[in-house]
């Protein structure tokens, strides 16, 4: 039995060790040295890189930007995605086409989506500026992506456009598990549509919502491509720097791989800590229920 388990699990464990565990170990090793990216590791600095990162105002701002995206994702994408999913779950003409249109942005590469939106949001000749100007609304003088006060929120709007389809898809899948008999019984008893959604649909959809929120939190902590492609470095350093963009900027372009590795390790620890905390307090009931059902 042990041999069979090892035979089936072994290849996956080997790949996981080579592409996940070993890079993490090497990143921790690099972070303990002042290293330029080539040559032997000789200038050991211990935890100095970590102290420098945590005491750097740019990194603390980047962490704040990531957390802003996390909070906005939950507050905005959850109700909007849920509303669209409830709408698309009803029988209507063109339902399949609407589902496809909403999901298409999610399958696009972030780089492609970023380049497209960069052109759409150009301050003078962009489509967005033209449409807003047609109704008498003028955008920021430096453009939506060039004004530090609004650049982060503009990037969040683009991220919402891209990833809302995932939320809608997950919620639609969860809605398929809500028994029609319960909703019909509630309607027969006089419950309104809103009461049915509040007291039947949402409680039964809660596990799916918690899974989506977990994916959204982890994804928001790792935002890189969209910010890197759409926002100019001068503006990014002021208002939209994330932990991932700061890591690449310092580790690759500033010639400090050791310092960049320290940022990578800190980002990994933050993501792992939030994942464990969320699993402990939010996903525990779902996992406990699954284990209980499995034992039975």
pLDDT digits (tens, 9 = 90+) for 21-43: 999 999 999 999 888 877 788 88
Closest CA to 230 of 163, 153, 166, 139: 153
Is residue 156 over pLDDT 90? Answer: yes
Four-way CATH pick for 66-239: 1.10.3720.10, 1.20.1250.20, 1.20.140.10, 2.40.170.20: 1.10.3720.10
Residues 47-75, mean pLDDT to the nearest whole number: 93
Is residue 286 over pLDDT 80? Answer: no
Apex 207 CA angle, 204 and 208, nearest 5: 95
Q: Are 142 and 123 in contact (CB under 8 A)?
A: yes
Say what the pTM is: 0.87
Tens of pLDDT along 205-251? 888 999 999 999 999 999 999 999 999 888 888 889 999 999 999 98
Q: Give the confidence band of 295 by pLDDT, cuts at 50, 70, 90.
A: very low
Is residue 288 over pLDDT 80? Answer: no
Ordered by start, the domain boundaries in the chain are 66-239
- How much of the chain exceeds pLDDT 90, in percent? 44
Residues 266-284, mean pLDDT to the nearest whole number: 87
pLDDT in the model for residue 189: 79
Q: Give the confidence band of 124 by pLDDT, cuts at 50, 70, 90.
A: confident
DSSP 254: S
**Who's near 5: CB < 8 A, 6+ residues apart?**
none
């Amino acid at each position: 039995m042990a041999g069979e388990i090892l035979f089936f699990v072994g290849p996956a464990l080997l790949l996981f060790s080579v592409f996940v565990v070993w890079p993490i170990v090497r990143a921790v090793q690099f972070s303990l040295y002042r290293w330029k990216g080539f040559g032997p590791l000789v200038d050991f600095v211990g935890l100095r890189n970590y102290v420098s990162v945590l005491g750097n105002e740019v990194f603390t701002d980047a962490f704040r930007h990531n957390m802003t995206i996390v909070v906005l994702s939950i507050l905005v994408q959850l109700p909007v995605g849920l509303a669209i999913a409830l709408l698309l779950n009803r029988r209507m003409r063109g339902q399949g086409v609407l589902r496809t249109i909403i999901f298409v942005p999610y399958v696009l590469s972030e780089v492609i989506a970023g380049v497209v939106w960069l052109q759409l949001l150009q301050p003078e000749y962009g489509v967005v500026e033209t449409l807003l100007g047609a109704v008498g609304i003028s955008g920021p003088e430096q453009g939506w992506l060039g004004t530090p006060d609004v650049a982060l929120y503009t990037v969040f709007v683009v991220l919402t456009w891209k990833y809302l389809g995932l939320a809608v898809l997950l919620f639609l899948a969860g809605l398929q598990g809500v028994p029609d008999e319960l909703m019909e019984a509630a309607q027969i008893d006089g419950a309104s549509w809103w009461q049915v959604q509040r007291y039947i649909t949402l409680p039964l959809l809660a596990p799916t919502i918690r899974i989506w929120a977990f994916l959204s939190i982890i994804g928001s902590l790792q935002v890189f491509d969209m910010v890197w492609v759409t926002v100019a470095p001068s503006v990014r350093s002021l208002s939209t720097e994330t932990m991932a963009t700061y890591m690449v900027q310092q580790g690759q372009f500033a010639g400090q791989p050791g310092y960049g590795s320290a940022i990578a390790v800190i980002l990994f620890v933050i993501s792992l800590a939030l994942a464990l905390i969320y699993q402990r307090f939010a996903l525990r009931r779902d996992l406990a229920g699954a284990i209980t059902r499995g034992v039975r």
